[in-house]
Structure 1
């Protein structure tokens, strides 16, 4: 697997980092410009998804939003966000108005990490 060109500027890397930079590099074929674009897109999309999730009342749309966010998280290597989304999807099948606070925390951790990465 390719090592991430962003890894050299990351303050936190390895298994405890909010984003698996090796996975990100593999998904972007080690193209640093593409890594940066994908991270910007994830940060923007994840924030807008959370806002929409908080406003949306339709249970099906809420589940779709969480499912889409899960896929995006996996694409950038944000496995904790993906795991939280997967658990939330299960809770949403049982209860349409399931609490999403854990998701907001996980997304904020990743987005703060992305800001740190891109500001380096």
Structure 2
């Protein structure tokens, strides 16, 4: 293997570690990417908390299938990056919804809202403790 080749990072959770932390956000996963830098971790989590409601709103107001898929994909990537695996898995399901399945979309949005609230509370609490 060429040592100059760029290293790739897989931000999908290994199946056996997806919920190993038992928390809405796997902070150990995030720390792998921040190299234990608490200030950077806090900054990334704050960006996630800021973007989360905006991305959910974009998903909820998506007028076209393209808009829906872009918002779901964005949410999936951001959630995977911080280790919010439950949100990431639901965002992937949302991304895979075909056409305008309004009942299925409503259901996934409700589940995403609940998971996002849980993750937000967890992040805010962990920042108070950290």
- Shorter-chain TM-score: what band? 0.7 to 0.9
Partner of residue 102, structure 1: 111
Flag structure 1 segments of 5+ consecutive residues without an equivalent: 1-13
Structure 1 residue 52 displacement after superposition: 2.2
TM-score (norm 2): 0.75
DSSP 3-state at the match of 2:21 = coil
Q: Aligned partners of 2:33, 2:21: CA distance in 1, in Å?
A: 17
* 2:37 aligned with 1:31: yes
Aligned-residue RMSD, C-alpha? 1.7
1:119 correspondence with 2:128: yes
Aligned pairs, how many? 107
* Counterpart for residue 13 of structure 2: none
Q: Which runs of 4+ in 1 moved over 3 A?
A: 94-97
> Who is 1:79 aligned against?
85
TM-score by length of 1: 0.81
Gapped regions of structure 2 (runs ≥ 5):
1-19
Find out whether 1:61 has 2:70 as its counterpart. no
